Structure 1
């Protein structure tokens, strides 16, 4: 598998940000209207860009004026019509420039922040901290607003969701969680894991009534002697 720079305008061959070179296969039919192009490795490319594969696929459809679809059953990414890999790679460069690269440091270390109510999409860079709004005039933005990227928290020992919003993190994992979740955008509320004091307080709430009753009975018994 040939790897190329995500930012192909960067000539540095030792650049750390790489992606697979796009591979496309045209499925020919007798009827030219039924021809379609399979982007063989779009899933791997999308993973390198930290974007859902559906985003560059939809971008292909917008830029080429062709129907784009996902064959989930066979895990294939299809663009209607015959398109060579070189042309698709050039179109992909446009997607990377508009929806992946940071405008400040030009690194592909960004995460998309989608705000449907505000009708805006921001690119937030985890390398330099820069945040900017993407070109909302592009047709792809409508698709992204309706299909925002799913928030997938990386697994940390002891991490779990609380009511689908908060995240409970043991004290020793908080720093690691904050560092790792920065690139995921707005951080959910962090709730410290239970300590020994919390356990003792919960135990006292359970046994305090029987203890009080025993003490009262003991006092009454002593008074009656």
Structure 2
């Protein structure tokens, strides 16, 4: 069985999230023609969704009757549909109800609460509401994933009932009364010999758990190593600039590529904004307000995927004061461009520069200089509000 990435447009050969490729065949003739997806069960397991969800989605998108047969784990859809068409519909289902809206990884848990289709991401912790305008969403709300039932079934097989527990206690008490003293001595000796083995095993498990925890901590530290002051960011910005220069790239393409770089390289959101600005505005061409305004939509695209106002302003400060010091006097006007194009609110600037200190070291020195430079713009915003 061949596998494809989740979703298919991920072209990384080492991508860890994979699902079986759709296997379908057309059955019947005339009005009785049906498309049989024979491996719907395997696909659903890879997506961690009930197979009825995707089957219903196929029916809604293709405008045909659809049903899932549990006995054979296959989906039947009225009409003749090619693998390409089915794969396109499945990609849309994955985009809406499998991928996290924040990190774009297929790690969300789907659940229903108060008539809403909600999600919680196991990878980045994002929580939100999924698209409920689709016809298939109403079916999902009426037929939620029954995780409680699964946990009950699991616990019932492991945990004994009160009656069984009482019986075992009674039997153990009776056995204690009628126990042979010679046998008890042997049992005590065997227990003593077993204790050191148990201690050794527990020590080994503790060591393995500690090593696993230390490995996880090391991984997190590696991801958090790259900050806006890291020299490695210039190389990443060059890669992103090359991506922009190859053909006609849309703002969506740019935002997606930047997001994937952040996931693979592990830099923070301030670095993401700074890398984007460094890629959009080449150091070979002098930065001007006119050029910044012409490419403001690309700047706006860089702020997608949940970025706080503080992170946006910090990145702009560093980009102007560190990389383009000739434009320091124009810093208020660059800030005004972000304000006028709805990238930042006026209250964001007021709240940010209301503090006496924001960072430490060089970043705080830049903040203090920026605060002094932008003071007229902040006064204007306060009067406007």
Q: Deviations for 1:89-122, whole angstroms, at most 9, x for unmatched residues?
A: 010000000000001111101110112xx22011
Would the aligned equivalents of 1:3 and 1:21 in 2 still touch at CA under 8 Å?
yes
Partner SS for 1:106: coil
Query: Who wins on radius of gyration, i.e. which is larger?
Result: 2
| Alignment partner, residue 10 of structure 1 | 10
SS at 1:113 equivalent: strand
After TM superposition, give the deviation of residue 70 of structure 1 in Å: 2.2
Q: Which residue of 1 aligns with 2:120?
A: 124
What is the TM-score with the length of structure 1 in the denominator?
0.65
- Alignment RMSD (CA, Å): 2.2
Q: Where does the alignment leave 5 or more consecutive residues of structure 1 unmatched?
A: 163-225
Once residues 43 and 161 of structure 1 are traced to their aligned partners in structure 2, the CA distance between those partners, rounded to angstroms, is 33
Task: Provide the C-alpha distance between the structure 1 equivalents of 2:71 and 2:44, rounded to a whole number of angstroms.
Answer: 19
Matching residue of 1:24: 24
Q: How does 1:87-102 map to 2 (within 5 A)?
A: 87-102=85-100
TM-score normalised according to structure 2 size: 0.39
Hey, what does 1:140 align to over in structure 2?
136
Query: 2: CA distance between counterparts of 1:93 and 1:160?
Result: 41
Which is richer in strand?
1
Out of 36, 54, 57, the position equivalent to 1:56 is 54
* Partners of 1:7 and 1:96 within 8 A in 2: yes
Greater RCO (Cα-Cα under 8 Å, separation 6 or more):
1
Question: Within 5 Å, which residues of 2 pair with 1:121-200?
Answer: 121-151=117-147, 152-153=150-151, 160=159
Q: Partners in 1 of 2:156 and 2:115 — Cα distance?
A: 36
Partner Cα distance (1:140, 1:161) in 2: 40
Other structure's SS at 1:129 match: coil
The question of whether the paired residues in 2 share the 8 Å contact of 1:100 and 1:123 is answered with no
Higher helix fraction: Structure 1 or Structure 2?
Answer: 2
1:71 positional shift: 2.8
- Aligned match of 1:186: none
**Residues 5, 156 of structure 1: CA spacing in aligned structure 2 closer, same or farther, 3 A cutoff?**
farther
* Equivalent-residue separation in structure 2 for 1:47 and 1:101 (angstroms): 15
Partner of 1:70: 68
1:108 and 2:101 correspond: no
Q: How many residues align?
A: 158
- Is residue 51–residue 68 contact of structure 2 (8 Å, CA) maintained in 1? no
Q: Kindly state the Cα deviation for residue 74 of structure 1 after the two structures are TM-superposed.
A: 4.1
Structure 2 residues without counterparts, runs of 5 or longer: 162-385
Q: Structure 1 residues 156, 109: CA separation in 2 closer, same or farther (over 3 Å shift)?
A: farther
